[in-house]
Amino acid sequence: MKSYNENVNGLRGLCAFLIFLRHVWGMARLAGWWGNPSPLLSEFDVVFDSLQFAVDIFFMISGYLITGALQRAPSIHAFAVARILRIYPVFTVAHLLIFVVGPLMSYKIFIGTDVSGWSWLFVTNYLLLPGVFDLPLAQLNAWSLSYEAVFYLFAAAAFVLTERLRPVLARSLIILVAAFLCWHFPRAVFFVAGVMLHFFEAPASRLGPLRWISPLLLLTLLFALLQIGALSGSSSMFRIACGIGFVVGSLAFASIAHGIGPTARLLRDRTLQYLGAISYSFYLWHAFVLAGLRPILKSLLPALPPIMLIPIFGILGLAGSLLVAHLSYSLIEQSATGWLRRRLRGRPAVPSTA
């Protein structure tokens, strides 16, 4: 498998944009810009809220790419260092910002928090514990990084087991632990989907050229399934939705990763390729930009109706998020992290985008 796939990179950019749209709508609604709710707004809430499940596509992408990265790594230590350098430089800057500025601006998580409480929040959030564990979350987008961290640990442990134990015993243990994690964290099945697509690359590649498979339609169906499961309020229903979504998402992802049709051409567009490259910084920073822009925009345009205010919020928020993400990608992900890689390895290294 190639370490870089333009279709997958474009899909990553598309998913980052969908999550951005969800937050534009959600932040405006939470601020009460629409006033009293109406049945029509409730329908829009359902549609925009379903975009949260673009994160599950990120999980599939991680399962697909990280498995290959682990196999190519010269050692488990090298793999761990690469993962830390991929996640923590940008996250650390955002983490420090929110824990220094947040208390000064009375950010809700810090209200009524003393020094010991602040320290506890600082440590638990920096270790990416909220998300997998029921702990207060400072960076609301960072819950998914908690899942990613557990997947990295699981993948590394699985690799060690396959090296040191008999194949049957190693596979049995891996399947048992994976089943346990997927039962308690149903959305983890999408990591499994990505891993399986990596190992069954040859048969999966046959889905790409098939004209009767519509990847975007399958992604829409996946979001709808997961949204129905989430709205049911039943953990059993959500598990079922994730189980069906595993099949639907796997078909969609396989056809996208190896696609050659209109969807592939869309994903290979320069705009989505660029957004895919900066997607991690964009994912983390856009919430900061939107949160800062929202009160400013409302104070400057208090009489503007929501139907006009929200598009302006989205356009300005997108421009600001792209600017901050570009700077973060250039200065932190490439320059600073590249310098750290060279210091640790003692030789030039290509920045990781996995």
- What's the confidence (pLDDT) of residue 304? 86
187 to 43, 67, 171: CA distances (angstroms): 24, 18, 21
Q: What tens digit of pLDDT does each residue of 28-39 get?
A: 988 888 776 677
Specify if 52 maps to a domain: yes
Domain carrying residue 55: 6-345
pLDDT score of 62: 96
pTM of this prediction?
A: 0.92
pLDDT of residue 350: 47
pLDDT of residue 325 exceeding 90: yes
What would the two tokens of residue 42 be?
């409730």
The residue ranking higher by pLDDT, 204 or 22, is: 22
Q: Is residue 58 part of a domain?
A: yes
Q: What are phi and psi of 83, to 5 degrees?
A: -70, -40
**Residue 354 belongs to a domain:** no
Q: HEC string of the chain?
A: CCCCCHHHHHHHHHHHHHHHHHHHHHHHHHCCCCCCCCHHHHHHHHHHHHHHHHHHHHHHHHHHHHHHHHHHCCCHHHHHHHHHHHHHHHHHHHHHHHHHHHHHCCCHHHCCCCHHHHHHHHHHHHCCCECCECCCCCCHHHHHHHHHHHHHHHHHHHHHHHHHCCHHHHHHHHHHHHHHHHHHCHHHHHHHHHHHHHHCHHHHHCCCCCCCCCHHHHHHHHHHHHHHHHHCCCHHHHHHHHHHHHHHHHHHHHHHHCCCCHHHHHHCCHHHHHHHHCHHHHHHHHHHHHHHHHHHHHHHCCCCCHHHHHHHHHHHHHHHHHHHHHHHHHHHHHHHHHHHHHHHHCCCCCCCCC
Lowest mean pLDDT among 78-82, 212-216, 228-232, 281-285: 212-216
Partners of residue 133 on adjacent β-strands: 130
Examine residue 353 and state whether it is found in any structural domain, yes or no.
no
Give the tokens for residue 116: 């010991």
Q: Is residue 49 part of a domain?
A: yes
Would you place residue 16 in the very low, low, confident or very high pLDDT band (cuts 50, 70, 90)? very high
* Cα 91 from Cα 77, distance rounded (Å): 21
Please give the tally of structural domains in the chain: 1
45 in any annotated domain: yes
Q: What is the pLDDT of residues 152-201, one digit of tens each?
A: 999 999 999 999 999 999 999 999 999 999 999 999 999 999 999 999 98
Residue 111 within any structural domain of the chain: yes
Residue 265, pLDDT > 60, answer: yes
pLDDT tier at 349 (50, 70, 90 boundaries)?
A: very low
Best CA proximity match to 344, nearest among 84, 81, 165, 90: 81
CA distance 342 to 335: 11
pLDDT band of 237, cuts 50, 70, 90: very high
pLDDT at residue 352 tops 60 = no
Residue 189 falls inside a structural domain = yes
Task: With CA atoms as reference, report the closest residue to 5 among 264, 330, 188, 216.
Answer: 264
